[in-house]
Amino acid sequence: NTQSPNQTRHQLTSHLQSNTLELDDKAQTLSYEYYYPYGSTAIIAGKDKTQVQQKRYRYTGKERDDSSGLCYYGARYLAPWLTRWIIPDSAGAIDGLNLYVCVGNNPLKYRDPTGHVKVYEGNNFNREEGFYELDVLGPAINTLHHNDNLFHFPAAYQRLEESVRHHSIYKADEYNILDTKTNFIKNPEYKNASIVQAYFNPYPSICFKNIMDFSTGELTFRANYRRSNFGKKVSVDTTATEITCYQYLGMAKILGTQNVLPKTFLRAAIDNDTTLLVMQRYEETQDYAEFFKNFINKTDNGRSSTRIADAFGLNIIAIELVKKSNSVRLFLQPQKVLKPIGESITLSPREVISKQTQTTKL
């Protein structure tokens, strides 16, 4: 940053890109500033008052008007003392119902580069815990992994993103549990850098562990269950479809990709009693048409997969028994007409094959 032809300023920033320390071309301190949340100055110091007053870029790297005290973000001005924008979000409720709220009321973690939406731009890998932290609804940094094993389907991906945003607004309490209790791990147990795992396990009775391989285009459902807790109803009402949509969006954001969807689902290591009966019958009869119908219409795994595929804007067109791993692979294709947000597929009434167990596995 050059203030005059003879002056150069080097800026050292915090994790929020706030300019905390300025040095001249001889590495001598020009100014030192710390901020309260939302950008008011907590302390500022320097050897030369004039040079301190020439400081241009401040909190989160933005300019502050000395007369009004407002910080300029491009789309809007922030009033630090109010912790709010001075005008509403022109995009509507895209970042929450409060159109004046800034960075989701979490200024220690997020920043808003343009005045439109909060982002988390720090090193989002938690080395102590071994997982990633991110804003699932934030923008992707780049667009990688457009290969033939993925559907490039921008309309469906954007619909998926909007459905997750809809969930965050209209079921905020449930979404907050999902958002705080989901861990993302890149390259878990594998050498392939294109694999990301999502793990939601808020209670011992609930576990949703899904893995996306962006190189093969396969989304694996490793563990998906919700059990009763000593006869009591589990307090998390978020559906398997909502959880999977959230997890997929997060996995895509971690890898820095968008507008792509999986071509296959893999229901791995199935232990649902009804599904195992359907798989066993297919091994005995080799009747594929019956196997497809029974799996999709009569099993928890198949019906849940149908709902999730529909939320992704996809249809299940074929299935394959993977006998050695007790798994079923589902082949997908894009829907020609996407449903509006909030409208889901209507499944036919379930036909009971055998007595259901008390545990529901999705």
**In terms of domains, do 182 and 328 share one?**
yes
* 164, 245 Cβ separation under 8 angstroms: yes
Report if residue 314 sits inside a domain.
yes
Report if residue 164 sits inside a domain.
yes
Report if residue 150 sits inside a domain.
yes
Instruction: Please state, in angstroms and rounded to a whole number, the distance separating the CA atoms of residues 315 and 266.
Output: 14
State pLDDT tens for residues 242-253: 999 999 999 888
Please state, rounded to an integer, the average pLDDT across all residues of the chain.
84
**In terms of domains, do 57 and 164 share one?**
no
Q: Beta partners for 131?
A: 126
**In terms of domains, do 132 and 44 share one?**
no
State pLDDT tens for residues 129-171: 445 567 787 766 555 556 889 999 999 999 999 999 999 888 8
Instruction: Please state, in angstroms and rounded to a whole number, the distance separating the CA atoms of residues 313 and 204.
Output: 31
More confident residue, 351 or 60: 60
Report if residue 101 sits inside a domain.
no
More confident residue, 287 or 348: 287
User: Tokens 């469906």 map to which residue?
Assistant: 156
Range of the domain at 302: 125-361
* 260, 157 Cβ separation under 8 angstroms: yes
CA angle 134, 197, 359 (to 5 degrees): 115
Instruction: Please state, in angstroms and rounded to a whole number, the distance separating the CA atoms of residues 47 and 30.
Output: 7
pTM of the full predicted structure?
A: 0.66
Residue of 34, 60, 61 lying closest to 46 (CA atoms): 34
State pLDDT tens for residues 107-137: 887 788 778 777 665 445 454 444 556 778 7
- Cβ neighbours, 10 Å, residue 4: 7
pLDDT at site 315: 97
Residue of 276, 267, 246 lying closest to 316 (CA atoms): 267
State pLDDT tens for residues 186-203: 765 555 678 888 999 888
Report if residue 256 sits inside a domain.
yes
Residue of 78, 73, 121 lying closest to 102 (CA atoms): 78
Report if residue 96 sits inside a domain.
no
pLDDT at site 247: 95
Report if residue 266 sits inside a domain.
yes
* 172, 224 Cβ separation under 8 angstroms: no
Q: Beta partners for 210?
A: 198, 221
- How many folded domains does the chain comprise? 2
Report if residue 8 sits inside a domain.
yes
State pLDDT tens for residues 240-280: 999 999 999 998 888 778 899 999 999 999 999 999 999 99
